[in-house]
Every structure is written in structure tokens, then in C-alpha cells.
Amino acid sequence: MSDGRMQPLSIVPAAQEDLPLAAPPLQPPVRLETHEGGIAHLVFEPPPGKVNILGSGVVSLLEIILAQAAGQRLRGLVVRSARPDQFIAGADVREIRALRSFQDAEAASRRGQRLFATLEALPFPVVAAIGGPCLGGGTELALACHYRVAADTPRVEIGLPEVKLGILPGWGGTQRLPRLLGLAPALDIILNGRSLDARRARATGLVDDLAPPEILVAAAERLIEEANEGARRPRSRLSDGPLARVNPWRRASLAMTARVARQRLRARVDERHYPAPYLALEAVIHGLVAGRDEGFAFEAESVGHLAVGPTARGLVALFSLQQEARRDPAVASRPRPIDATAVVGAGVMGGAIARALARSGFPVRLKDIDAQALSKGVAVAHRLEEAELVKRRITRSERDRRLDRILPTLEYSGFRRVTVVVEAVVESLRVKHQVLHDLEAAAPEGFIFATNTSSLPIASIAAPARRPDQVIGMHFFNPVHKMPLVEVIRGPQTSDETVATVVDLTRRIGKTPVVVGDAPGFLVNRILMTYLGEALLAFEEGGRVDEIDRALVEFGMPMGPFALLDQIGLDVAAHVAGVLTEAFPDRAPKTAILTAMKEKGWLGRKSGRGFYLYGAPGDEADAPAPGAPRDVNSEAAALRPAGRSGGGGVAAGAIESRLVLPMINEATRCLEANLVRDPAAVDLAMVLGAGFPPFRGGLLRHADTLGLPTVIQSLELLAGRLGTRFQPARSLLDLARSGRGFFVE
């Protein structure tokens, strides 16, 4: 269901795009070089093609090197990467995952704190020269330096994304950043896991200077000279002396800022599911009230509690899945070079796909047969780029360059150069066949036809193609600019080269590909069928829309099933439900309510009325109808089948089991049918494409947490009460009998 899917909570950090493998490095990962004039360089050497990370081996070397440096007569120290476009991408996430006890996690935090305290205490100026990603532990290292200078380049990204992994900055970040920037700016970075580019970091005071990349190291050395001459002093925005800490005005200001920050957190994340930002806030405030030493102790204790908790376990596992998906070649073939792209079918979806291609540097022709639809697609791209400009993520010139790459057209002229065409027309096999026929006459012989279908079989779409090996599914989720998943659907004749090329294209536009087989509903929609279908049956049985939605939001979904149906569009949902019911008549939940609502013209958010009532229809960003909470469409209850209009409530635990456990069962069947390669692909797809709670680590990891015998027992109870569609899948029974789970830790 590619129309209207809500964005899952964004919790996964962008750090460590290329975690190093376990192969031994060719040279020490960090070394101390002494240069002329008494200025030394602390140089981090990444493995070939990888990034610098702070693993335990690097920390051990740093402890020795910094102890040696403290005893030398130096005029200053530059901390830098041997690769000029890098700095330090953070701590080693694999070591976080390996922590098994509170004591181990707290000890790891205290060790990092001691290391950076040694760096901060060096008796000469220390400057971090930041040429690229500086995240997590890398930022905490930079904060322990006396000064920071960054390259004026888009490669620079400075931030503390730890809360996105379910932990908090544990090497002094909660204490040093507020004192450097002030409380409110520091909380914005720490509590949101936010990263800043070089210019924004300079504007906030996170870095002292910017320099062109080619003279970054020289600029760092010049800053050392200025510090030695007394022309520079380390920044500090918050006083930390005993008198300041007892100042009643200061304490009142801290309390008020903390209260506002806590209220904003509650509006955004549930503390029961995501405790890390709440503990990070407490660590910051505690340190400012009780002093740095007490703050460091609170920070380390908090890391101890969080790192071995279920949220961090789930989020770190999910992060690892994303990293593996970015590295996995999917197939052995090499991708084809992509010279130019095209999108056929404008409107909201086509315009957003064209914009995703253009922002990644691809020239893209946006084609439609209707001038109004074409205009709408172009307007979507303009609106999304304008939003980036307003948020200061891009410059006006960059916005203009991106939009200039989109060439709207009502004809197929200019298609002779395209390598990949993304088809985004209506879900009609006849229309898609016509588009394919027209493209075969207009595009080069070797072009790839990537259909953005959400339900039609790739085999059926490719049936009349001259080159069915070059027909593939490329299923985007809506809204395209927010949803990170693309299902790459391999048809029965799709070649390895075609798969490799589309996987490569998906990654280059910043999305995460999951390769799936050609089957009704593919992966995400097939699994969601059980979830949404059971919600509809519960409603027909008399369940209340708001109660069912509330129960699943409490579980951790970004919105309840009825709000999701409204977002998708009830007409789209009815179409996909029909396809899946025909394909799986023995277990697809059978409900008539979608058809009844479609006939009434109640299509969800886009029509202003679905299971809920909304404001004026038309825009995908329409707000709900005025008044809070959002109004339920009470008239929908009258559409329940005769004899099923009771008003009984639902218990949260019961409805959660009824909706979630069948998803586990259906996901197991997808693995049985080799629709996806492994459980990791299922979990990644369900989090990134359906909003399954990230803190649970994924659908099948959640099954492992529950225990497969418990899942099977609960499914059998549901089968006895509600029907055979709940019978556990054969491979789920086999897995439970073997005593294993989906994942081996």
C-alpha cells in the first residue's frame, strides 16, 4: 500500500556508514607524530575504505599515547584523521552490542570519561581538525579538545546520535556540551540525536573556526599559535563554579528549561519505550546543579542502565541491520552505470520520486499525459526542496541546481539517454502495459523498467516486454521523502544485473533496499494484511476505533491501524485487500467494511472522512479536523454487518496479541516461501516500511523476545476462539521445537 504510509519514528543514526571489518589494520589505528616547531599531531588512521571508530583497541592505544604526550614539552596538539575527509564516526557499535551487564557498561563509560579528561588536561592547546563525520564518541573527543576547527564542506557532520541507539553520550558529552553552547542549544542536540553541518556548528559555537578543506590542518596549527600568544581562549557559555551553582536565579532558569524540554519530549516520545533522552536530560541538569564530577558519575550510571536494557538492545540490533543492508551487494553482478533517469506518472508520488533522483545528482525526465498532473508533480518537488531551504539544510543555489535536473514533459522526447525509468502510473495492468509498450519505442534497448507497483505481480507486468529480464519492481512508500524503505521486487525473469543496478540506485538516493520475491503483496503489505484485517474485524465485532488505535500506539506503532488506513486511503486499502484475499483465501481476514466506506466516498484523509474526520481534503499534509482529540467518524459504526453492531470495548493486551501475532506468523510464511533471504530483511522492512516499533528491534526479534513457545501457544488460543487463520505456520512450529529463535546472538 504505497499511498499514505506514515513515517516510522526516526531513531537510527546516520553514523558509521562503513564499519570496519574484523581484518587486522595494516598499521596502528592511531599514532603520535611530532612536527617542527613543537606541534604534535594525533593521527587516526582508518582501515582502507573505512572510517575511524573508537573501539576498545583504539582506546587502549590512546591511553598510552596521551600519557606519553603529557610528559613531552609540546607547544600544541592537532587531533585529525589521516584521511582529510574524515574525523571519527563514533564508538564501535558492535562493542555496545556485546555489553552484558550494568557493571560492564558503566565501566566502559567511566573509561572513556577518564581518557577524555586526560586529553582535556594536557598542558598545551589541543585542537580538533574535523574534516568529515564527527559523531558520537568522535564529538565527545572533540569536546574534550580546547578548540575545534572544521572544514567548510558538506562532508562535515557533527553530533551526538546516541539516543537513537537507546543510550546517551557516555564519555562526557552530557557535561561538556552544555557548558560550551549553553543549556538550550545543547539539549536540542543531545535529546534529538541531532547533527549539525559545519556552518551551523560554527554559528552555535560548537566549532571555533571554519577553513577550506585543503588548509584545515594549517588552520588548526594557526589556532594553536594564537592560543599560545594569548589571542584565543577556550569558549564557555555556562559558569560552573560553586557560587554559580547556588545562585537561585540560575537554578530557577535551569528548572524552567528542563521543564520545557521534558514537555517537548513527552509530546514526541514515550518514556516507557525510549528512556534514553529522559535520562540524558537528567544527566545534563544534575551536572549543572551538582557539578561536573557528579554529572560524570550520573552519566556513567545512566549508560550502565540503558546499554543493557531492551530498548538499546533493539535499536542497536536494528542499526546493525541497516549497516549490513548498505553493504550487502544483494547479487554477485556488478551494477550498470546510470547516465540518466526518468519517471513516468507525475502527481504526488511521481513528483517525490523525481525529486529524490534529482537531489542525488541524477538528471530526470518527469513524464505524464496530463498537464495538470505534471504540474502537480513539479510542485511537489518544489515544495520539498523549499522545505529543505527553510530549514537551512541547503542553499538557494543548491535548491536551484536540484530542481533544474527535473525536466517535465508531456512527450517521450529525450528518453533515448535514460538508463532507468521508474513507472508510477495508476495500479492498472492495462495502463502499465501501455506505458511499457511506449517506452520500448522511445527508450534505448537496454533500459530498465522499474515499476512502482504496490500489488501487481512483476511477472504479469513483464509478460509483454521485449526484455522481461529488465523489468523489476521498485516499490516506494509514501511519503517518499520520509520513508526510508524501497522494496526491490525481483520477477521470475529479472536478471542479476537489473537487480544490482536498482539496488545501487536505491542506495544512491539515500534509501534502504530490501530485495523480495514476486508474490501478492510482496513483503510489507502481505504482512500488514493480517494486522489491518484483524483491526477491521475487531471493529465489525463492535470494537471502538479509538480504543484499538490507542492500544497499538501504546505498543509502539507510530499510529493505530485505523489512522493508518485513513492515511493510506481506503480505496487503495480495499484494492490491495482484494488482491491479497484472492491470493490467500484460507487466512486473509475477510471484511466488508472497506468496500462499504469506499461506496460512501469515505476514503480517509484525502476525502476528509474515513474512520476519523479531517479538515479540508486535497493536501497530503491536511491537519485533522479542528478540536482535540481528533474526532472519530461515529457514522462508520452503522456500516457494520447486521448482527455485529455491539459496542463492547477491547482489552489492550488482547487486541495487541490479535493484531501483532498474526504478523509474526505471516512473516514466517514469507521466509518459508523464500520471499526474502533471512529474518533480518523482514525486520528491516517492517520497521522502515510499516513503522513497526524500532525499540523492539523488529518484528521477528520481538517474537524471539516473547519466546516462540509463547507465540505459538497464543496463536493456538486465538485459532480456537477466532478461526483457523491463526494456526501457527509449520516452520514456526519447527523452529520452536528445535529450541532456537529467528536470530542467534
Q: Each residue of 485-513: pLDDT tens digit?
A: 999 999 999 999 999 999 999 999 999 99
188 and 295 in a common domain:
yes
Q: Among residues 517, 532, 565, which one ends one of the domains?
A: 517
Task: Tell whether 108 is covered by a domain.
Answer: yes
Task: Tell whether 465 is covered by a domain.
Answer: yes
| Polymer length in residues for the chain | 745
Per-residue pLDDT, 345: 96
Q: Kindly provide the b/e burial profile for residues 560-597, where b requires at least 16 CB atoms within 10 angstroms of the residue's own CB.
A: bbbbbbbbbbbbbbbbbbebbbeebeebbbebebbebb
511 and 537 in a common domain:
no
Q: How many domains does the chain have?
A: 3
pLDDT of 567 > 80? The answer is yes
511 and 379 in a common domain:
yes
C-alpha distances in Å from residue 377, one per residue of 353, 367, 571: 9, 9, 21
Most confident of 93-97, 238-242, 493-497, 624-628: 493-497
Q: Among residues 464, 497, 517, which one ends one of the domains?
A: 517
pLDDT of 646 > 50? The answer is no
Helix (H) or strand (E) holding 215: none
Annotated active-site residue in 273, 475, 481, 702: 475
**What integer is the mean pLDDT of 364-370?**
95
pLDDT in tens, 621-643: 444 444 334 789 989 989 988 75
Binned at pLDDT 50, 70 and 90, residue 242 comes out as confident
Task: Tell whether 664 is covered by a domain.
Answer: yes
Q: Is 702 an annotated catalytic residue?
A: no
Residue 462 is part of which domain span? 341-517
282 and 425 in a common domain:
no
pLDDT in tens, 298-326: 999 999 999 999 999 999 999 999 888 88
Helices in 193-345 by DSSP H: which ranges?
198-204, 216-228, 242-246, 248-268, 276-290, 292-307, 310-327
By the 8 A CB rule, do 610 and 565 touch?
A: yes
Q: Among residues 517, 537, 569, which one ends one of the domains?
A: 517
Helix, coil or strand: residue 450:
strand
Give the residues across from 261 on adjacent strands. none
613 and 681 in a common domain:
yes
Task: Tell whether 320 is covered by a domain.
Answer: no
With pLDDT > 90 as the criterion, what percentage of the chain qualifies? 78
Q: How many CB atoms lie within 10 A of CB 444?
A: 12
69 and 209 in a common domain:
yes
Per-residue pLDDT, 631: 87
Print the SS3 string covering 601-650: CCCEHHHCECCEEECCCCCCCCCECCCCCCCECHHHHHHCCCCCCCCCCC
Cα 151 to chain center, whole Å? 26
Task: Tell whether 50 is covered by a domain.
Answer: yes
**What integer is the mean pLDDT of 242-265?**
87
Q: Kindly provide the b/e burial profile for residues 228-247, where b requires at least 16 CB atoms within 10 angstroms of the residue's own CB.
A: eeeebeeeeeeeeeeeeeee
CATH number of domain containing 145: 3.90.226.10
Per-residue pLDDT, 626: 40
DSSP per-residue string spanning 135-172: ETHHHHHHHHSSEEEEESSTT-EEE--GGGGTS--TTT
Task: Tell whether 336 is covered by a domain.
Answer: no
What is the average pLDDT value for the chain, to the nearest integer?
Answer: 90
432 and 500 in a common domain:
yes
Residue 629's Cβ-count burial label (10 Å; 0-12, 13-18, 19+) is exposed
pLDDT in tens, 391-431: 877 889 999 999 999 999 999 988 999 999 999 999 899 99
For cell 557539578, the residue is: 291
Per-residue pLDDT, 284: 97
pLDDT in tens, 343-360: 999 988 999 999 999 999
395 and 268 in a common domain:
no
160 and 85 in a common domain:
yes
CATH number of domain containing 417: 3.40.50.720
641 and 608 in a common domain:
yes
Binned at pLDDT 50, 70 and 90, residue 243 comes out as confident
Per-residue pLDDT, 236: 84
510 and 534 in a common domain:
no
Task: Tell whether 230 is covered by a domain.
Answer: yes
276 and 422 in a common domain:
no
CATH number of domain containing 570: 1.10.1040.50
Task: Tell whether 469 is covered by a domain.
Answer: yes
